[in-house]
A and B are shown apart, each in its own frame.
Chain A
Amino acid sequence: MGALGYSSGQIWLIIVLLALGTFALRFSFLAILGDRTLPQFLLRLLRYTPVAVIPGMVAPLVLWPAATGGEPDPLRLTAAVVTLFVGVATRNVIWAILAGAVVLVGGIWLTGQL
């Protein structure tokens, strides 16, 4: 159990603000009556938000995993590459997760760390 460094109040603050912010994003345009739309270029920027945020967040976690004290770990790197490959090839999130999990857990078991 890795205890988080936040108080219970801070955790609830994060949850409630994240919920309100997410709802605001979702309701934003539906709340405004009429057919006003965003400028074309802004819509185009928004389209790339997930693919712009998630890879950058994940790259340091893959290269310098916390579990090995920040040292690059061949097993976790392999699991990451396999997950990406299966995700691109099958276009299916669940298959990709399963493939990565099999490599990771199988590798941990084979190297006797379990």
Chain B
Amino acid sequence: MTQITPTKAFLQGLRRSLPFILVVVPFATLFGVVATEAGLDLIQTMGFTALVIAGAAQFASLQMMQDQAPILMVLLAGLAVNMRMAMYSASLVPYLGKAPLWQRALAAYILFDQSYAVSLDRFEQEPDLTIPARIAFFFGVAIPISILWCGTTAVGALVGSAIPSSMGLDFALPITFIALIGPMLKSLPHVAAAVVSVVGALALGWMPSGVGLLVAASLAMLTGALVEDWSSRWVR
């Protein structure tokens, strides 16, 4: 097996990131539009998008802010959506765990669904890749997407105020969230978790802002894990 240089690995990653332009551009633009419509100024919107770099969590905490939830609940909603990042981090350790600390820190900063999925796939298929090549490949995927994410958020923030609010922008967030959920409903445990989440959140709506959602989400996670456990036993 011939070893590829980090430069070549970076370029390969870059090429693998190209299809995601179609996902990132509209999604980031929408965040710019919705954030400025909600009342954030341009600098706050850009700070939000550049420091957090996590689409679904940005939308989730923005929604809680529009509901005037307490700050703690805004943070919990955003971080709950990002819990999966800890799982990504854990599963990359066997591949990137021995890279220099600053490289791991930088990779963590731009670790999101796309950069994770594409890189893990590559690392699993080519176990012989050197650690510098793996890091370079990861950055090749993640850096262009991150720059694009911030740039198109700015475009959305700048054009957002030109869109009349009677166009149904109040419902842009719910539509985005539902669109995110659809592709996630790929197995029985996922569907079961989603159903428990909806029923629980509606039934516990009387609880103080955000608390009902946290309880419902905990129950839903447990449901997903238990159903997965049972269904894997049934298959065997």
- For the residues of A in contact with B, the DSSP-based class is helix
B202 & A91 in contact (Cβ 8 Å cutoff) = no
Chain A residues lying within 8 Å of B190, measured Cβ to Cβ, are 48, 51
How many Å lie between the Cα of A96 and that of B175 in the bound state?
A: 8
A30 & B92 in contact (Cβ 8 Å cutoff) = yes
B23 CB within 8 Å of chain A: yes
Least Cβ–Cβ distance between A30 and chain B, in angstroms: 4
Given that A30-B96, A30-B104, A86-B182 are contacting pairs, would A114 and B166 also be in contact in the complex, using a CB cutoff of 8 Å? yes
B217 & A26 in contact (Cβ 8 Å cutoff) = no
B-facing residues in A56-102 (Cβ within 8 Å): 56-63, 65-67, 76, 79-80, 83-94, 96-97, 100-101
How many Å lie between the Cα of A76 and that of B209 in the bound state?
A: 23
Residue total for A at the interface (Cβ-Cβ under 8 A): 83
The one of B105, B108, B195, B213 in contact with A53, judged by C-beta atoms closer than 8 angstroms, is: B213
Chain A residues lying within 8 Å of B86, measured Cβ to Cβ, are 25-26, 28-29, 46
A5 & B71 in contact (Cβ 8 Å cutoff) = no
B51 CB within 8 Å of chain A: yes
A56 & B78 in contact (Cβ 8 Å cutoff) = no
The one of A15, A51, A63, A100 in contact with B52, judged by C-beta atoms closer than 8 angstroms, is: A15
Chain A residues lying within 8 Å of B205, measured Cβ to Cβ, are 60
Given that A50-B56, A51-B220 are contacting pairs, would A56 and B201 also be in contact in the complex, using a CB cutoff of 8 Å? yes
A-facing residues in B185-215 (Cβ within 8 Å): 185-186, 189-190, 193-198, 200-202, 205, 213
Residue total for B at the interface (Cβ-Cβ under 8 A): 101
A108 & B166 in contact (Cβ 8 Å cutoff) = yes
A-facing residues in B134-175 (Cβ within 8 Å): 161, 164-168, 170-175
A79 & B171 in contact (Cβ 8 Å cutoff) = yes
B94 CB within 8 Å of chain A: yes
**A32-58 near B? 1/0 per residue, CB < 8 Å:** 111111100101111111111111111
Chain A interfacial positions (CB closer than 8 Å to B): 1-6, 8, 10-19, 21-23, 25-38, 41, 43-63, 65-67, 76, 79-80, 83-94, 96-97, 100-101, 104-105, 108, 113-114
Q: Can you report 17 residue pairs joining A to B where beta carbons are below 8 Å apart?
A: A4-B38, A18-B78, A22-B78, A30-B89, A38-B90, A41-B225, A46-B86, A48-B193, A50-B184, A53-B197, A53-B213, A55-B194, A55-B197, A56-B200, A76-B174, A104-B175, A114-B164
- 9 further A-B contacts with Cβ under 8 Å, apart from A4-B66, A37-B90, A87-B179, are A13-B71, A14-B61, A18-B57, A30-B107, A45-B224, A52-B218, A54-B197, A59-B197, A100-B179
List 3 A-B pairs, minimum CB-CB distance, nearest first.
A87-B182, A56-B201, A48-B224
